Structure 1
Amino acid sequence: MQAFTYESRPGRVVFGEGSLKGVAEEVRRLGLERVVVVSGAELRPLADEVAGLIGQTCAGVIAEAVMHTPVAVTEAVLMQVQRLEADGLVAIGGGSSIGLAKAVALRTDLPQIAIPTTYAGSEMTPVIGETKDGAKVTQTTPKVLPEVVIYDANLTLGLAVGISVTSGINAIAHAVEALYARDRNPIIDLMAREGIRALFEALPTIAGNPADRAARAKAQYGAWMCGMCLAGAGMALHHKLCHTLGGSYGLPHAETHTVILPHALAYNAPAVPEAMAALRLATGSDDPALALQELSRKAGGPVRLSDLGLAEADIDGAVERALANPYWNPRPLEAGPLRETLRRAFAGEAPVSP
């Protein structure tokens, strides 16, 4: 067996339908007395509900999270957190809400409770990406890893099918890249295969019946596994392209992951035969890259960057930015094949290895 190092991440996970009701107990377990609830504006009613469950221990609600975690927003929220004399954070929402809480924790070391309402998996990782001056920069530090994560499938029942599918494929991306990461190991491989399998089973069911509680719980479970993969292994071409397109061109986060993943996987496929074999089993398809694209297409999700706001004239600049400070990748990055990869993603063509 290969030699490897596996570093487990601390944290407590509370999983199950109705588990949100225990949020006050989790606050008490951490010994917190003045927590601030963080969310986006669209989730303000849910954030207020969480504040009510916490009771007198809640010092306030800040519903200002936005996509890509801009540093300017974080700095403004940080001033409010300090003014409220908060000693902890409760984030409820998708990657934007959890990302904002992480960004505040990075600067203050405040403990966090994360309550995800999508399937992106950010809540399980010590990774944070922040946007400033048109660029998105990521870093990995235990300071941003939530102390507690509460998974309650009831919170996802109202999640639109489109967002369910794109956030689920966003989670799958973490596991796909973990299968061929430079620091992959057998434990991560197990979680990656299990997470991908669970989401491939759950997402089509959710697309056909959004109220299916069993499918919603399975999707949360898959997102948890995939998030653990990102927590324990590195990123490669897929995440670099998504961070470039999101940070520099303002493309929506989960939708960009959904469009790019099949094409980034196809780019790397010739260099990662073991990962492709695992993905064939996890997806039940002889062509995992195409299966990922079809998963989105059949559920009405995006398959073209052109539909997300990228202009064809932006492709060359995106290639240059991705090559300027690349992440490690199992296949060497070359401008020509990379441009063809983005062109196919722009047009929504089938993923192939250029």
Structure 2
Amino acid sequence: MRVLFRSGAVPDAVPDEVALLGLRRVLVLCDDHGLDTARAVAASLGDACAGLHAGAVTHVPVEVADLAVEAAREARADGCVAVGGGSVTGLAKAVALRTGLPIVAVPTTYAGSEMTPVWGLTEGAVKRTGRDPKVLPRSVVYDPLLTLTMPPVGSATSGMNAIAHAVEALYAPDSTPIVALMAEEGVRALAAALPEIVADPSGHDARSRALYGAWLCGACLGATTMGLHHKLCHVLGGTFDLPHAETHAVVLPHVLAFNAPAVPEALAALSRALDVPDPVRELHELGERLGIPRSLANLGLTAADVDRAVDVALGAPYANPRPASADELRAVLHAAWAGERPYGG
């Protein structure tokens, strides 16, 4: 994987990366919100652009993936350029999973999906995930200027989603000292940058530091096994169609509070990164200061949905430093649903 990080990298860098990979006909993927940026990237590619497909949606429904695969085949594409956030990268991964086409990722949010070999598809209200090296992008072009179009709340939820990747990586069963260093630094960078972005969305320096943090957090996710936090968020997204980043932002402090007794080293690392004695409290209150949703109820989940979410979560195994019974999962999800403080009080 090649990673290029430079303000103003687009439009010249993407054609260069496509050429380095020997690609001659690439399909540019995006969602409806990122059409303008994707069109600019497509124009920069000239004759190497075989078409633009704007069909990406959250959680990558299989029928949406099918349409993208068909578009790639009709265009006789030999690669994909994903311009957007995690949904767009996820769609490119679905295409790569079926076709083997290489991906050039151009992130415009702090999702971090571009740094992982993890794919996800939703079918029949169930989100399945897996790992395959062929879905890992071959090149990633980070241009902080592309994140300037994210509104403050969108930036904040995207950044909290990235922080969640690093938090779980700190206590993953296959974490390493290098991953722990990257996770701590990623959390530190994002937690400092996000309030500045909310205060001044046009600030280039804060945007750059946030994207740097997201890069690190995404790499941590790609190197480790996902646990309870990601499992619950996949259930909430795939089964109930809750928004991806917002769901991660709400659930994060609640799962961390549950796991806290079993992960003292992870808590110590987060305390250093956040410069606070209680990282659970700080992550919850950081969300409040950033003005992002603090409850799953605000995202559309009903109280009756909590029991179904518990049942779905119990139906598939996941790694976690502390086992969770049905009642304990219900308590975690109910607290997140109600927007309770995970640290009491």
Q: Secondary structure at the match of 2:342?
A: coil
Q: Give the structure 1 partner of residue 114 of structure 2.
A: 123
Within 2, Cα distance between the matches of 1:285 and 1:336?
Answer: 31
Q: Deviations over 1:4-52 (max 9, x none)?
A: xxxxxxx000001011121111111111100010000121121111110
Counterpart AA for 1:15: F
Counterpart AA for 1:129: G
Q: Which of 203, 206, 220 is residue 229 of structure 1 equivalent to?
A: 220
Q: Give the structure 2 partner of residue 41 of structure 1.
A: 32
1:349 lines up with 2:344 in the alignment: no
Query: Which is further off, 337-346 or 88-97?
Result: 337-346
Q: Give the structure 1 partner of residue 134 of structure 2.
A: 143
1:17 lines up with 2:41 in the alignment: no
Within 2, Cα distance between the matches of 1:321 and 1:263?
Answer: 19
Q: Which of 183, 189, 194 is residue 185 of structure 2 equivalent to?
A: 194
1:89 lines up with 2:80 in the alignment: yes
Output aligned runs, 1:248-287, within 5 Å: 248-287=239-278
Contact 1:118 1:167 in 2 (8 A): yes
Deviation at 1:284, TM superposition (A): 1.3
Query: Which is further off, 19-28 or 267-276?
Result: 19-28
Output aligned runs, 1:96-115, within 5 Å: 96-115=87-106
Within 1, Cα distance between the matches of 2:8 and 2:156?
Answer: 23
Deviation at 1:58, TM superposition (A): 0.4
Within 1, Cα distance between the matches of 2:34 and 2:149?
Answer: 12
Deviation at 1:246, TM superposition (A): 0.4
Deviation at 1:337, TM superposition (A): 1.8
Contact 1:40 1:65 in 2 (8 A): yes
Q: Secondary structure at the match of 2:10?
A: helix
Within 1, Cα distance between the matches of 2:280 and 2:152?
Answer: 21
Contact 1:197 1:283 in 2 (8 A): yes
Within 2, Cα distance between the matches of 1:308 and 1:290?
Answer: 21
Within 2, Cα distance between the matches of 1:351 and 1:92?
Answer: 36
Q: Which of 58, 73, 80 is residue 67 of structure 1 equivalent to?
A: 58
Q: Give the structure 2 partner of residue 238 of structure 1.
A: 229
Query: Which is further off, 343-352 or 138-147?
Result: 343-352
Within 1, Cα distance between the matches of 2:186 and 2:337?
Answer: 28
Deviation at 1:198, TM superposition (A): 0.4
Deviation at 1:129, TM superposition (A): 1.1
Q: Secondary structure at the match of 2:53?
A: strand
Deviation at 1:259, TM superposition (A): 0.2
Counterpart AA for 2:6: G
Q: Secondary structure at the match of 2:340?
A: coil
Counterpart AA for 1:204: P
Counterpart AA for 1:213: H
Within 2, Cα distance between the matches of 1:188 and 1:299?
Answer: 27
Q: Secondary structure at the match of 1:19?
A: coil
Counterpart AA for 1:80: A
Contact 1:323 1:333 in 2 (8 A): no
Where does structure 2 lack aligned partners over 5 or more consecutive residues? none
Within 2, Cα distance between the matches of 1:76 and 1:190?
Answer: 40
Q: Give the structure 2 partner of residue 57 of structure 1.
A: 48
Within 1, Cα distance between the matches of 2:197 and 2:68?
Answer: 35
| Structure 1 residue ranges (4+ consecutive) displaced by more than 3 angstroms after TM superposition | none
Within 1, Cα distance between the matches of 2:145 and 2:25?
Answer: 26
Within 1, Cα distance between the matches of 2:204 and 2:36?
Answer: 22
Q: Give the structure 1 partner of residue 154 of structure 2.
A: 163
Deviation at 1:256, TM superposition (A): 0.3
Q: Secondary structure at the match of 2:30?
A: strand
Contact 1:111 1:147 in 2 (8 A): yes
CA root-mean-square deviation: 0.9
Q: Give the structure 2 partner of residue 335 of structure 1.
A: 326
Within 1, Cα distance between the matches of 2:153 and 2:108?
Answer: 14
Deviation at 1:167, TM superposition (A): 0.7
Q: Give the structure 2 partner of residue 7 of structure 1.
A: none
Within 2, Cα distance between the matches of 1:117 and 1:186?
Answer: 29
Output aligned runs, 1:26-37, within 5 Å: 26-37=17-28
1:319 lines up with 2:310 in the alignment: yes
Q: How many residues are paired up?
A: 343
Contact 1:128 1:140 in 2 (8 A): yes
Q: Deviations over 1:77-98 (max 9, x none)?
A: 1111101100010000011111
Q: Deviations over 1:187-220 (max 9, x none)?
A: 1001000100000110011011111101000000
Contact 1:17 1:152 in 2 (8 A): yes
Within 2, Cα distance between the matches of 1:20 and 1:116?
Answer: 11
1:217 lines up with 2:217 in the alignment: no
Counterpart AA for 1:87: D
Deviation at 1:326, TM superposition (A): 2.8
